[in-house]
Every structure is written in structure tokens, then in C-alpha cells.
Amino acid sequence: RKEVEQDPGPFNVPEGATVAFNCTYSNSASQSFFWYRQDCRKEPKLLMSVYSSGNEDGRFTAQLNRASQYISLLIRDSKLSDSATYLCVVNRLDTGRRALTFGSGTRLQVQP
Amino acid sequence: SAVISQKPSRDICQRGTSLTIQCQVDSQVTMMFWYRQQPGQSLTLIATANQGSEATYESGFVIDKFPISRPNLTFSTLTVSNMSPEDSSIYLCSVKAMGTAYEQYFGPGTRLTVT
């Protein structure tokens, strides 16, 4: 079983739609959680950290459910520029490392 | 966030040769990492580059194949040795953001093709 699992998509949505991605992680020792965005042929860029109480950044809302070990990302009022691959990322403390484990990504295509 | 550059941005290399990739950061950072992203795949951590000591490699990656140097707090190199077509990939360095626990920022990547 992969440590971080995501639905690869693609999610094809019209402009203005609301879309949600889920991600599950297998290791309960995971401590920090992030969503990264990766455009085609570009490096991943940090979209937002995910906090236990949930957090919002403009049109983006992230939620964490530790009991069920899943993370979600909600995008409201989708824009064409939101088209990208969204990577769910976790960090584990038990190994003493500060490196990140990446999911395989969910591809979003926003259509006019 | 730190500005990270990598050289070369891309290269085409022959089987059996080696390539050294450089990662330069515009400010001192405590931690630097090297990742690989194979075609159509997500990122996989190769190693943590430790300043002044040997890198810490992940399972499946060895120093003889991927030697890493980190002579100071702003620079690191990754060498891909004795290359084969299976090494064709994007290689990315990342740094831990100052003042945060785990957030990382990535360089633009080096696109390697081995023929």
C-alpha cells in the first residue's frame, strides 16, 4: 500500500465550479501535511499547509481528519489557471527526518 | 522563500557516463534534499544532503550511484553515475524553509535524458 494515496483524476470541471480532492495516508506517525501544486514541466510549488483545525486561503480550503487519516482540498469558483496537478504531501517524524512523502497527484483540468 | 537555481536545466547523456547537477540557494538553509521524478510519476526522495557530513540515502538509493556533496549552507551537488536509460528523469533539489518545521521549496529541476 502506498504511503500517500490520491485519485489520479483527471477531474474535468467548468470554470466557476467547486471541486474537492481527497488524499489518504497510511502512517499514523505523520505529523505535517501539505498541498503542493505542479504545473506541467514545472517544479512543485507549495499551495498551503494543512492544519488540524482546517484552514482557508482565498478560494482554497484544506481539512485534516487525523482519526480517518485523510486530507482534503476544496477549490471554489475554479479558474482556468487552477488547471494543474495537486500533490498531497506528508511528513513523518518517527524517522527523525524532515523529508516529505508525495502522493502521485490529482490532475485538475478547468474548462471554459 | 529562498530562490533556488539548478544547473544544468536539461541534458542528454550517453549510457555509462556521469552527470553532476548543481543546486544553489540565495540564502543559507539548514536542510537540502534531492528528489527524482520519473516520467508520469510523483516525486521520490533520493537523499538528504548534510552539510559537512555524508548524505543520508533513502531505501533503494546508494552513494556509489548518486554521490552527493554539500560543502556549505547554500550549495549542493548530485552526481548520477554510470547512467542508464532508466535514470532518465527530472532531478530536483529542495530546501527546508527557514523558520518553518517542514515546508520545502523546490528548484526548477534538471531534466535528464540518457540514450
* In the block, residue with C-alpha cell 555524508: B54
The verdict on a CB contact (< 8 Å) between B45 and A104 is no
Cα–Cα dist B111/B71, whole Å: 24
Give me Rg for the CA atoms of chain B.
Answer: 13
Q: Return the residue in B10, B21, B43, B100 with the most chain A beta carbons within 10 A, the one to mutate for interface testing.
A: B43
Interface of A with B (CB under 8 A): 31-32, 34, 42-46, 49, 87, 91, 97-105
Cα–Cα dist B81/A110, whole Å: 41
How many Cβ atoms from other residues are within 10 Å of residue A3's Cβ?
A: 14
Q: What is the pLDDT of residues B55-114, one digit of tens each?
A: 999 989 999 999 999 999 999 999 999 999 999 999 999 998 777 767 889 999 999 999
Residue B29 falls in which region: left (phi positive, over 0), alpha (psi -120 to 50) or beta: beta
Cross-chain CB nearest to A98 (options B42, B96, B109): B96
Q: What is the pLDDT of residues A8-27, one digit of tens each?
A: 989 999 999 999 999 999 98
Q: How many CB pairs under 8 A join A and B?
A: 47
Q: What is the pLDDT of residues A22-78, one digit of tens each?
A: 999 998 877 889 999 999 989 999 999 998 888 999 999 999 999 999 999 999 999
Query: Which of A7, A20, A5 is CA-nearest to residue A82?
Result: A20
Please calculate the CA angle B36-B42-B43 and round it to the nearest 5 degrees. Answer: 35
Query: CB of B9 within 8 A of CB of B111?
Result: yes
With residue A36 as reference, give the H or E element that holds it: strand A30-38
Give me Rg for the CA atoms of chain A.
Answer: 14
Cross-chain CB nearest to A105 (options B42, B96, B101): B42
pLDDT value for B71: 93
Q: Which residues of A touch B92 (CB under 8 A)?
A: 43-44
